[in-house]
Amino acid sequence: MEQKKEIRVALAGNPNSGKTTVFNLLTGARRHVGNYPGVTVEKVEGRRDYKGFLLRFVDLPGTYSLAAYSTEELVARHFILDEKPDVVVDVLDASNPERHLYLATQLMEMRTPLVLAFNMSDVAQSQGLEFDLKHLEGLLGSRIVPMVASKGKGMNDLLDAVIETAADKTPITPPMHYGKDIEAELSRIEHLLIESDCEVSARYGSRWVALKLLEGDAELCSRVKHSDILKVVEAAQVRLKTILGDSADILIADRRYGFISGACQEAIKHTVLARHDISDKVDLVLTHRWLGLPIFGVLMYLVFYLTFTLGEYPMGWLETFFDWLGAATVAVWPGENLLWLQSLLVDGVIAGVGGVVVFLPNILFLFLGIAVLEDTGYMARAAFIMDRIMHKIGLHGKSFIPMLIGFGCSIPAIMATRILENRRNRLATMLVIPLMSCGARIPIYALLIPAFFPPHWRGPVMWLIYIIGIVAAILCINLLRRSLLKGESVPFVMELPPYRMPTWKGLSIHMWDRGWMYLRKAGTIILSLSIVLWFLMSFPTPPEGRFDHLTPEEQYAAGLKYSIAGRIGKAMEPVIRPMGFDWKIGTALIGATMAKEVFVTQLSIVYSLGDEEEDEETLSLLRQRLRADYSSLQGFCIMLFCLLSTPCIATVAITRKESGKWRWALFQFFGLTAMAYVVTTAVFQIGSLVQSLI
């Protein structure tokens, strides 16, 4: 077979430009698409066969510029400079061209073959923008392709433009002129670079290197080893400051925006509709100084309420299935042979894994609700609303984004702190992310809340648990920023993308991807831990006849206490008794250190070892026994401790990796556990005192 010609394409663009949606459209990849900065942290690759060409796409991090101030900018810039893709596709939000073209001007300066994908052209049209694309192409010197990626429009036109641009070997000529004074300094520096045979200049182009040096690009300045060149650059910066009144980087940025403004005025017309932006009108209410936070709280409460209301029925179906599966396994077991293996399958695997899988409907409905808020653009508003609170504790709204991701899983949330430029802000955010109720805690809440609270209280209790985590995180950040991580906060401007109607496909992908991660965890980590926990709960077995004088229920309890897990739990009991916990809860908490969901697995194994038959009229035997053994106050304290206490081992490991030091990971581990112990003990003791007085 004839080998296809390969074209390497880099996808660049601002956050909220729809770049990841374009990547998904071109490659068929299933990727998360959000309406807030920080969705794409690292490059992702995909491929497509088209008209005899093999197109390899690289999805670069979303970034507003290539100034190398952040990790995203460095990754994108280094890939374009060092990997030298055949074509760079810059994805722009066509409804906000002046802002998004700034990145395009920097790509032009790099003389890279460029295609401009004007995404969300339908939104631009609805806002009254009319483009003279041919004229604009002439002004920018690049092909322009209008697109509506969310609806699949413009894909073939973009692919054709990529192939045509790759075939044209002529490097792009930057159309910008920076004015007489700046151009004179650029020529002087460029001439010196060529004369001194600078390696960086030979590799990246003398014009571009001169421009970056004049801007004071720290990363590039460190790579230029010629001190005489750097002295000339410093002198040029001083002259420009003296003549024009501003630093060179500001002057160059001003020239770029001036070029963009001029091009847009010539090639873009505004109709009357452009004066009326519905997003601005909605934001007058949703981001109101006093109404914004209560509205956010109400929306999150509705998500939690629907999570329980809609998830109750499929949960019941799954419970019935696993009950039937366990009973069927016992029914077909061959006599008295290998009863230990029967116990392992029924009480360990089926009861342990099934006890976690039954909460999948709650997981799916919760993330469906979050996906709706995210895809409509509301989550960016939530970060904007929280910005006011964040500033008061030494952070800004950008820190709220990783914390928001923490409601799904702490591990990607801690990795998402890379979007924070200030190390103190990053560490403070990283240390408190486990206080966000991650998806692994949902099975605990979904088990205990229906067990101890009537239906009309379940939504409010769930909402309260989430609010407690957020408040605790805010208090801890405030304490950290006033003590260990004291310092100035970096200013930040939050971009508010226009509201959009989410697609069913997008919502389904977001919901199922997170649900599948949960199922995969249940089929690997939880399965392994279930077997280990079953062993700890089953061995050693009591000597034959030792507990014959006891009732079946007493034999069951005595057998548990005799096991390895029971002995560990009994040893812990004096320490955890002030929180209202006994040895059963203690052994479950040990398992939760590995993964929070294992807490439910442990309790499922503990209570499935008894001889009682399940009452089909109750929601579950496990909830029934928990309700019999513990009070509502104890149930709430269990959830409170699981919320505030040490994160799972995987979270500790990623904290070590992202912070670069074990001390921060250990501080997080032991600090949160100590706080959880103190708070839970206080709540239980005060609650018990109040109950005794009533």
What architecture does CATH give domain 5-167?
A: 3-Layer(aba) Sandwich (3.40)
Question: Phi and psi of 59, rounded to 5°?
Answer: -90, 100
Kindly indicate whether the domain formed by 180-275 is annotated with CATH number 3.30.70.270. no
* pLDDT score at 135: 84
**How would residue 493 be classed by pLDDT, with cut points 50, 70 and 90?**
very low
Chain length of the chain: 694
Which of the four pLDDT bands, split at 50, 70 and 90, describes residue 302? confident
Q: What is the pLDDT of residue 386?
A: 74
Q: For 252-267, what is the mean pLDDT?
A: 82
Question: Is the separation of the CB atoms in 387 and 490 below 8 Å?
Answer: no
Q: pLDDT digit string (tens) for 506-525?
A: 788 778 876 777 677 656 76
List, in sequence order, every residue forming a beta bridge with 118; answer none if it has no partner: 92, 146
Instruction: Categorize the per-residue pLDDT at 553 as very low, low, confident or very high, splitting at 50, 70 and 90.
Output: low
pLDDT tens-digit series, residues 11-25: 999 888 888 889 988
Check the CA dihedral 229-234-237-243 and report its sign.
negative
In this predicted model, what pLDDT tens digit does every residue of 475-488 receive, in sequence order?
A: 898 888 888 887 66
Is 90 exceeded by the pLDDT of residue 633?
yes
- What are the structural domain ranges in the chain? 5-167, 180-275, 294-487+511-693
Closest to 326 measured CA to CA, from 302, 342, 308? 342
Nearest 10 degrees: CA dihedral of 674, 680, 685, 688?
-170
H/E run at residue 57: strand 53-59
For residue 37, pLDDT over 50 is answered with no
Which range, of 249-253, 268-272, 436-440, 507-511, averages the lowest pLDDT? 268-272
Mode of pairing for the β-strands spanning 114-119 and 44-50: unpaired
Percentage, residues of the chain above pLDDT 90? 20
What is the pTM for the complete model shown?
0.55
pLDDT band of 497, cuts 50, 70, 90: low
Three-class secondary structure assignment of 81-130: HHHCCCEEEEEEECCCHHHHHHHHHHHHHCCCCEEEEEECHHHHHHCCEE
